[in-house]
């Protein structure tokens, strides 16, 4: 379905001012350099200004203080911040196009499950016993919602996600396709005969408000009590969070990161891709961890930036890396000096 918006409508939504044709219509978005008729673009980076003068996009968002130096043929909408306004517009568009409501006849909902008004539950979704689902929640097809799960208002659970029993999800969350929350933690006791005895995992997963969990990310239930993901956390795709882990508010974590059991990650941390964090470590608030780092010990000072394996101060790591690039040349120099020294000693 093609949904069209005029420049006047967009300006009204964003509190902007139209320069050009207020009836100009768009139905999709594009980068300013790849513009085409019917597309909406934005300009915020000065490096891209030259594209504005020959872009084919019908409408371009620009900063309110922008002053063109050449003739602009496209319709401009002046807004306080073009980048933020573009993101706001995308959110509005997504909400509009994803505004599904209704319960599929092919969904299974237990008799004692509860759900609020304006919910969407897609085909072949399974809703277990004593589940409580808030208002405006969207559960896409083939989701599994286990017994005693709680899902807060305005949360979206995309197709194929699995929420094991007793998982609690807050308000305004997004759970992407294939995510698994509440599977057993990896707990086993070695036996004298070399086998392993499973430790029952009887806790759950608690997810706060305004959390986003990427596709195929897994968060294990705790052995006892709860694995906790606090408000505002953003998790990328393909992340593994083990049992009893706690992730503090507004921490962002990139793909393929793995956090071992009982680790504690502080607030407002930034963790790049493919980071490994050993079990039972504590990571201080506002820690930044570079990509492919491995942590064998925690951080105590808030605001620390670390990288490498084992991870240590980022500045020192970069200096050491630069030195390593010259290691062959250094070896050749040392060999040459040894040769000269031996020649002098032989005389």
**Stated length of the chain:** 347
Backbone φ and ψ for 112, nearest 5 degrees, come out as -100, 10
Torsion, Cα 20 23 24 28, to 10 degrees, reads 130
- Quick check: 318 and 308 in contact, CB under 8 A? no
Asked if residues 189 and 199 have their Cβ atoms less than 8 Å apart, the reply is yes
User: Which listed residue (176, 230, 243, 264) is catalytic?
Assistant: 243
Most distant pair of Cα atoms in the chain: their distance: 99
Adjacent-strand bridge partners of 144 = 126, 162
Rounded to whole angstroms, the Cα distance separating 88 from 28 reads 14
Other Cβ atoms within 10 Å of 301 Cβ, number: 9
The CA-atom distances, in angstroms, between 255 and each of 100, 300, 327 are: 29, 25, 32
- Mapping DSSP to helix (H, G, I), strand (E, B) and coil, where does residue 71 land? coil
Looking at the DSSP assignment, which residues form a beta bridge with residue 87? none
List residues bridging with 313 in a β-sheet: 306
Three-state DSSP state, 103: strand
**Residues in Cβ contact with 4 at an 8 Å cutoff, skipping those fewer than 6 apart:** 25, 26, 27
Residue 221 has what DSSP assignment? P
State yes or no: is 230 an active-site residue: no
Q: How many angstroms separate the CA atoms of 57 and 131, rounded?
A: 47
Angstrom distance (rounded) from CA 97 to CA 104:
18
d(CA 265, CA 166): 23
In angstroms, the CA 183 to CA 237 distance is 17
Residues carrying an active site annotation: 243
């Amino acid at each position: 379905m093609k949904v069209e918006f005029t420049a006047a409508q967009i300006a009204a939504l964003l509190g902007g001012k139209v320069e050009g044709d207020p009836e100009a219509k768009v139905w999709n978005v594009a980068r300013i350099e790849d513009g085409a008729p019917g597309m909406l673009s934005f300009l915020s980076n000065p490096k891209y200004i030259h594209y504005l003068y020959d872009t084919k996009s019908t409408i371009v968002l620009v900063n309110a203080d922008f002053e063109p130096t050449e003739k602009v043929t496209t319709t401009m909408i002046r807004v306080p911040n073009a980048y933020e306004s573009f993101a706001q517009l995308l959110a509005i568009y997504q909400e509009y196009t994803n505004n599904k409501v209704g319960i599929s006849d092919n969904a299974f909902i237990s008799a004692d499950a509860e759900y609020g008004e304006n919910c969407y539950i897609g085909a072949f979704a399974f809703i277990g016993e004593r589940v409580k689902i808030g208002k405006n929640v969207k559960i896409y097809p083939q989701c599994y919602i286990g017994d005693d799960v709680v899902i807060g208002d305005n949360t979206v659970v995309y197709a194929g996600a699995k929420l094991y029993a007793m998982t609690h999800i807050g308000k305004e969350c997004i759970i992407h396709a294939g995510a698994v929350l509440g599977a057993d933690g990896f707990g086993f006791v070695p036996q004298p005969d070399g086998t392993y005895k499973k430790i029952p995992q009887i806790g759950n997963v608690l997810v706060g408000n305004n959390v986003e969990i990427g596709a195929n990310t897994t968060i294990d239930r705790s052995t006892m009590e709860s694995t906790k993901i606090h408000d505002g956390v953003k998790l990328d795709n393909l992340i593994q969070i083990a049992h009893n882990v706690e992730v503090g508010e507004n921490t962002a974590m990139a793909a393929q990161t793995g956090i071992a059991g009982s680790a504690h990650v502080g607030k407002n941390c930034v963790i790049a891709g493919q980071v490994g964090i050993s079990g039972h470590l504590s990571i201080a608030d506002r820690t930044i961890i570079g990509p492919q780092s491995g942590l064998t010990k925690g951080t105590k000072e808030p605001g620390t930036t670390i990288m490498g394996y084992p991870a240590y101060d980022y500045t020192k790591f970069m200096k050491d890396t630069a030195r390593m690039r010259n290691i062959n040349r250094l070896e050749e120099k040392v060999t040459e000096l040894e040769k000269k020294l031996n020649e002098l000693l032989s005389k």
